[in-house]
Structure 1
Amino acid sequence: MQGTSEEIALIVAAGTLLMLLILAFLMTFFFLHQRRHHRQKRELLRMTEAYQRELLQSQIEIQEQTLQHIAQEIHDNVGQVLSLAKMNLNALTIGPPNANTERILVTKGLVGKAINDLRDLSKTLNADYILHTRLPEAIRFELDILERTAADLRTFLVIRGKEYRLSPQHQVIVFRIVQELINNCLKHAHATQLTVALSYTDELFTLSLADNGQGFDLAQVDANRSYERGSGLHHIKARAALIGAQAQFSTQPGGGTSVLLQVPIPNSLET
């Protein structure tokens, strides 16, 4: 009888110990799960905050770049047109009614062109300009500025597929990347031709930019990001990653440069 009691007590003790071990395991698992969950939430919050900061930075840079373009356009284009109009007006002479007809018509045309140019420029002063403008239209504006800045450079814009709007966040990032690439071409490439191609499919938006400039050693630039160009390329790739995109560079000394940006597209699209 005593042996039976001892066996029962031993079984109860073993069962109790087993339950305690299971309970300790469950509590440990729950604790680790909660800690991992909180860590993931903190990481997600950090990534979201970083994304929002980068998006805001991109918007600020777009506005700064746009203001620089507007100032340059007013100085180089609108100012020149108005100066020609002023010269024509100063050259008007007193004489028969038809003596100045041709000069007056030319002056009217110049003033009309200046008005249209200023109207176009005023649209870009809107803080949400890039959000409400078609991406090809915004890129064409940048390319037009580039051609007027570098007289020996010709630019081309190619569109393939049925155009649709990217999300506002994607459009801001993509447009800022295009601005950076165009600036790099102007500063470093010494190219005479630049082609930007936009390709629209249901699954993928692709943007390619190719110039016939002097190119560079990509391996050397990647190895030393302290170079201005190396830091710029790294920044472009980092920005592309924010929207789940990939940026690929292909270049060699004397062989021009091409950049391919591929942006995955979600199921819902804004046409």
Structure 2
Amino acid sequence: RILDDLGLLPAADWMAEDLAKNCGIDAQVKVIGGERSLPAELELLLFRIVQEALNNIRRHSEASRAWITIEFGDGKVILAVRDDGKGFKLPKRIGDLASAGKLGLAGMQERARLIEGKLTIKSAPTKGTTVTVEVPV
């Protein structure tokens, strides 16, 4: 509902505040570039990617801090969700996420594909995790 009423950035702020309030994980939102309105379908899929990334942080990361960055660039939007948690070993190919039991990450990959975006996941044990999606606009 907050996404429909206010848009992606206020929804991201709300999710960050919720993570801090309910999980004690200090979460911050940073916007780079001039904010602009995005198509509703794109906003919804980006919102769902942030939501899933924060759920993974909440459930698995043991993080104390998280960052959501939304960058409005020329012809693209880059969304990144990063944490300082325990990280994990990635499968060799991003296409192997589902078979490796990383269903939330596989779902993010599918959402990125639906909006012609590119999903990148960086993680390693003790190094935290960063999920980035770059989408043409």
- Give aligned pairs, total: 136
What pairs with 1:140-151 in structure 2 (closer than 5 Å)?
A: 140-151=13-24
Please report how far the alpha carbon of residue 131 of structure 1 lies from its aligned counterpart in structure 2 after TM superposition: 2.8
Structure 1 ranges of 4+ moved more than 6 A: none
Please report how far the alpha carbon of residue 147 of structure 1 lies from its aligned counterpart in structure 2 after TM superposition: 0.6
Residue 187, structure 1, aligned to residue 59, structure 2: yes
Q: What secondary structure sits across from 1:214 in the alignment? A: coil
In structure 2, which of residues 25, 31, 40 is the aligned counterpart of residue 168 of structure 1?
Answer: 40
Residue 178, structure 1, aligned to residue 42, structure 2: no
Please report how far the alpha carbon of residue 235 of structure 1 lies from its aligned counterpart in structure 2 after TM superposition: 1.3
Please report how far the alpha carbon of residue 182 of structure 1 lies from its aligned counterpart in structure 2 after TM superposition: 0.4
The structure with higher relative contact order (CA 8 Å, sep 6+) is 2
Residue number in structure 2 paired with 1:209: 81
Post-superposition CA distance 1:41-62 (Å, at most 9, x none): xxxxxxxxxxxxxxxxxxxxxx
Q: What secondary structure sits across from 1:232 in the alignment? A: helix
Q: What secondary structure sits across from 1:237 in the alignment? A: helix
What pairs with 1:1-271 in structure 2 (closer than 5 Å)?
A: 124=1, 129-151=2-24, 153-219=25-91, 223=96, 225-228=98-101, 230-265=102-137
Q: Which runs of 5+ in 1 are unaligned?
A: 1-123, 266-271
Q: Distance in 2 between matches of 1:173 and 1:160?
A: 19
Q: Distance in 1 between matches of 2:52 and 2:93?
A: 17
Q: Which runs of 5+ in 2 are unaligned?
A: none
* Contact 1:221–1:227 (Cα < 8 Å) also in 2: no
* Contact 2:7–2:43 (Cα < 8 Å) also in 1: no
Q: Distance in 2 between matches of 1:215 and 1:240?
A: 21
Please report how far the alpha carbon of residue 259 of structure 1 lies from its aligned counterpart in structure 2 after TM superposition: 1.1
In angstroms, what is the RMSD of aligned CA positions? 1.7
Q: Distance in 2 between matches of 1:142 and 1:221?
A: 30
Q: TM-score if structure 1 supplies the norm length?
A: 0.48
Please report how far the alpha carbon of residue 134 of structure 1 lies from its aligned counterpart in structure 2 after TM superposition: 2.5
Q: Which has the higher strand share?
A: 2
Q: Distance in 1 between matches of 2:22 and 2:78?
A: 27
Q: Which amino acid aligns with 1:140?
A: D
Q: What secondary structure sits across from 1:191 in the alignment? A: coil
Structure with greater Cα Rg? 1
